[in-house]
Structure 1
Amino acid sequence: MPLRSPYQLVATPPTVDDYIRVRTGSGLSHRTPEQAAAAIAGSWSFRQVLGPDGQAVGMGRIIGDGGWYFLIADMTTLPEHQRCGIGGAVLDSLLDDIRTRAPRGAYVSLTADPPGRRLYESRGFTDLGASADAMLLYT
């Protein structure tokens, strides 16, 4: 579903400052400018949504090898712009990019926070539950 005015979906990454502002403003953990720059540079695909003032209000990206492993990350929207279809538009555009540019049979994963579960499930993502042992290491 396309975004309605005054929002604009663009296939470019945000600036480092906007990446940090949107992450922290939507409740995601703070990242340093160095981390933000590396995240932007290391993305396979990026989408951001610009609001009425031309500032980034939402975003999402794909980390991937271009062949078969893809991780959707940094899916977030500033609270004052939620419930406007931004998350769905970003996710749909990212998935379309995988379907268009990657070989058929790609493995697409993400970590779903409780507020995003309904969106991800509506796009066909399933909870792996006991069939997978998710593991995490923070350094």
Structure 2
Amino acid sequence: MKNNYGGKMFAREVLAFLEKPRIARFATIGRDGYPHLVTMYFMLDGDDIIMGSDRGERKVQNAEATPKGAVIIGGDPGIDEAGYLIQGDLSIEDDVGHNMTLRMLYRYETEEDAEKHAAEWADSDLVVIRLKPKSVIRVY
């Protein structure tokens, strides 16, 4: 089921939900054919879901080998007012100057913690994982 609202993938209420700093559960397909599932910070970039990672991580290798994945955001009874499964195509991009990582850290963490993590990762080979949604399904 694909939802498309006037050229945009997300309805207003979905956008409002996704704009809050929630944790995403990100799934890729491992080389053994089984799902590989991890928790991730995320942000919207237009209609795309973007997440950050070190280039050497398994989720990045999986996305490069099989560029299809999904996130579930929300859906925890008693905590969330909704939950969405978003499936789509994946791509990997360089995080030039770690700009996206910095934006992500400041979205989720205190300024002090964000600066600490940014310093720890200064020499890391960071990438952006981009999920281009093909379907959005309310699961809660």
TM-score by length of 1: 0.28
**Higher share in helix:** 1
Higher RCO (CA 8 Å, separation ≥ 6 residues):
2
Structure with more strand by fraction: 2
